[in-house]
Amino acid sequence: MSETRTQAPQPAPEMDYIETEENRAAPLRGSYDDCAWAKRPDPIPETQIAETQETEVLIIGGGIAGLAAGARCTDLGLRCAVLEKHHGIVARGAHIACTDSPVMRRLGVSIDKKQFARDWMHICGSRVNEELLWLYINNCSEAVQWLTDLGGDDVELRLFGGRYKGPDFTEYDGTHYMVEKPGHTRYKNRLGASLMCEMLQERCLEGEGNRILRKTKALYLEKDAAGRVAACVAECEDGHYRRFRGTRAVILATGDIGSNPDMLKTFCPLGLVPKRNGYAPQVPDPERPGHKIGLNTGDGHRMAYWVGGQFETPSWALSLHLLAYSIYVFFFLFVNRQGKRFMNEDTWVQAKAIRCAMQPQGDFAYTVFDRKWFQELGERIDITGGQFTEPLVTDYGDKWSEDNGIDRQIERYVARGTCFKADTLEELAAQMEVPIETFLATVARYNELCALGEDLDFGKRSELLTSITEPPFYALKWGPALLNVHGGMLTDTAMRVLDAESRPIPGLYAIGNVAGGLYGVDYPLLWNGNSHSRALTWARAAVADIAEQG
Ligand SMILES: Cc1cc2nc3c(=O)[nH]c(=O)nc-3n(C[C@H](O)[C@H](O)[C@H](O)COP(=O)(O)OP(=O)(O)OC[C@H]3O[C@@H](n4cnc5c(N)ncnc54)[C@H](O)[C@@H]3O)c2cc1C
């Protein structure tokens, strides 16, 4: 017999209100003055500053975000100067994402924005500024269309078809890539980010008086008497220091902190784990002769901090890609350098990269497969797919073709020594330099699970369990590389940098990877190409605000 009980309402528990120096200062008002990287350089003596140059909008950093801001200044009739420390166009990658485009509509592809936002927040560890997320979701398509229109009839935006199609981790359609149309010769770069940056540069320089000054490294910002950020001091190509004034605003677009180990220690310790830095371009490292370093040394983050800007709370998101050694990873058996299986091979790129990096000697791992692999891959492509399983340039609707070049690429890796091939598993283990007995036991156990049809050890989908029984056997070497760290300054939705009291610092904007708030703790590869369209969207928001401020 059941008994109905009436529950007395529970009072909220009593809690002490605690306010100390420490929690008053955290988390939004962190002080990093004790960190070596936070030391402000001494100002350059006035006698050493060769001259002062003036523009309306001073943009520091000429990657995709900075060039987009420059191009938008042209549209809105603002005069600008872009200061860039590198000698040429800085761009990488191919993909750019948006929620809607003419090609998506033509192909009948759409995105449920509300679900997309929920998935984004979920993956980013609930640390997303939802105002920024919705600014991005609602404006990225217009930004990508604007960019496409800059190329007129010479370019086209194609919809990428190589998304992951498994059940557990949703990747959204909406990743695109820009190409110059066949037979057209307006641009030097044919495809991807290099093309997009060239288009933006062209538009930027169309504005009267607009300039891009390369080999010009900004050192620190200056405020005017009214407390407004109004200038920076930079070291120029000719070796002279100059002051560059932005009468309307200063925009920081200097990229991320991924090549600054001290800043990584503070904000993203996981970024120190991978042994490869995938940022491009890389230049000789002044601190370590014989080594190279990316341009993403957190210069803008520090400049903003020195004038009172606040960082989002660490730990910051990073993007790790499986780019070291090979660009294919697949879903077959993964084996670490100890010869052991270590994960469900059917997860997403970030998960694979981070699991690999966390292994002992985690700079690389192997995917092990046998003679049947190409057929097994083709038979399963419609339930797997995604980056590092399919070619990076795959069009929406493309069907599996024996001619897709993946098998030829693997044979090239064999010739290059980043994929081993052997007639016995013992020989393969010897080439891989893993303990033979452990490796044989790993493969035997995996084959046992395949025969059983159930992955009792790591829960991989049964459809993806394929045996390793027929020679030749392969071990494809792959490893994680750090691309970018996606954390930075707190901003409002006009991209104005916020101070310790969450007030905008007059005159100062942060865009691209200098801006924080969108990614929380993990880079959401549910949508490849979001970083590029975020850069465009933030650039447009900042310049729109500057134009509106008058
Ligand atoms: C290998 C690789 C592939 C990628 N592929 C994709 C992709 O397909 N899709 C995607 O969306 N994202 C991709 N990304 C990420 C994307 O490239 C970046 O997140 C994006 O370019 C950030 O743009 P940004 O302008 O903020 O920074 P950056 O592109 O890093 O540009 C910053 C610029 O500021 C300059 N700078 C820095 N300090 C100073 C200073 N003190 N003075 C003057 N100039 C300075 C730098 O030289 C640089 O040119 C990829 C990243 C990597 C590494």
pLDDT in tens, 105-115: 999 999 999 99
Ligand 1 atom index nearest CA of 530? 11
415 CA distance to ligand 1 middle (Å): 32
DSSP, residue by residue, 253-271: ----STT-HHHHHHH-GGG
Pocket flag, ligand 1, residue 86 (CB < 6 Å): yes
State the pTM of this model: 0.95
Atom 49, ligand 1: which residue's CA is nearest?
Answer: 63
Q: What are the angstrom distances between the C-alpha of 337 and each of 342, 367, 428, 455?
A: 10, 11, 13, 21
pLDDT at 394 over 90: no
> In this predicted model, what pLDDT tens digit does every residue of 343-357 receive, in sequence order?
999 988 889 999 999
Pocket flag, ligand 1, residue 296 (CB < 6 Å): yes
Give start and end residues of each alpha helix (H) in 347-471: 349-357, 373-380, 406-416, 425-432, 436-452
pLDDT band at 145 (very low <50, low <70, confident <90, very high): very high
249 CA distance to ligand 1 middle (Å): 22
Pocket flag, ligand 1, residue 253 (CB < 6 Å): yes
Nearest to 246 by CA among 376, 58, 487, 110: 58
Ligand 1 atom index nearest CA of 65? 25
Atom 38, ligand 1: which residue's CA is nearest?
Answer: 254
Report pLDDT for 75.
98
314 CA distance to ligand 1 middle (Å): 20
Pocket flag, ligand 1, residue 63 (CB < 6 Å): yes
Report pLDDT for 390.
85
Residue to substitute in 197, 387, 513 for testing ligand 1 pocket (most ligand atoms within 8 angstroms of CB): 513
Report pLDDT for 229.
98
Residue to substitute in 44, 64, 72, 147 for testing ligand 1 pocket (most ligand atoms within 8 angstroms of CB): 64
pLDDT band at 3 (very low <50, low <70, confident <90, very high): low
Atom 12, ligand 1: which residue's CA is nearest?
Answer: 531
Can you tell me the distance from the alpha carbon of 350 to that of 388, in angstroms, rounded to the nearest whole number?
Answer: 11
What are 496's strand-pairing partners? 509
Cβ contacts of residue 437 below 8 Å, gap of 6+? none
SS3 447: helix
Report pLDDT for 335.
98
pLDDT at 430 over 50: yes
Say how many C-beta atoms besides its own lie within 10 A of residue 470's C-beta: 11
Phi, psi for residue 178 in degrees, rounded to 5: -95, 135
Pocket flag, ligand 1, residue 535 (CB < 6 Å): yes
Atom 48, ligand 1: which residue's CA is nearest?
Answer: 63
pLDDT at 27 over 60: no
Which residue's entry shows tokens 């997403």?
Answer: 348
As a whole number, the mean pLDDT across the chain is 94
Report pLDDT for 6.
65
65 CA distance to ligand 1 middle (Å): 8
* The total number of residues written for the chain in this structure: 550
Pocket flag, ligand 1, residue 70 (CB < 6 Å): no
> Mean pLDDT over residues 251-259, rounded?
98
Ligand 1 atom index nearest CA of 64? 25
Atom 18, ligand 1: which residue's CA is nearest?
Answer: 531
Can you tell me the distance from the alpha carbon of 79 to that of 312, in angstroms, rounded to the nearest whole number?
Answer: 31
Atom 4, ligand 1: which residue's CA is nearest?
Answer: 93
- Which amino acid, 88? G
Report pLDDT for 18.
77
90 CA distance to ligand 1 middle (Å): 7
Report pLDDT for 1.
45
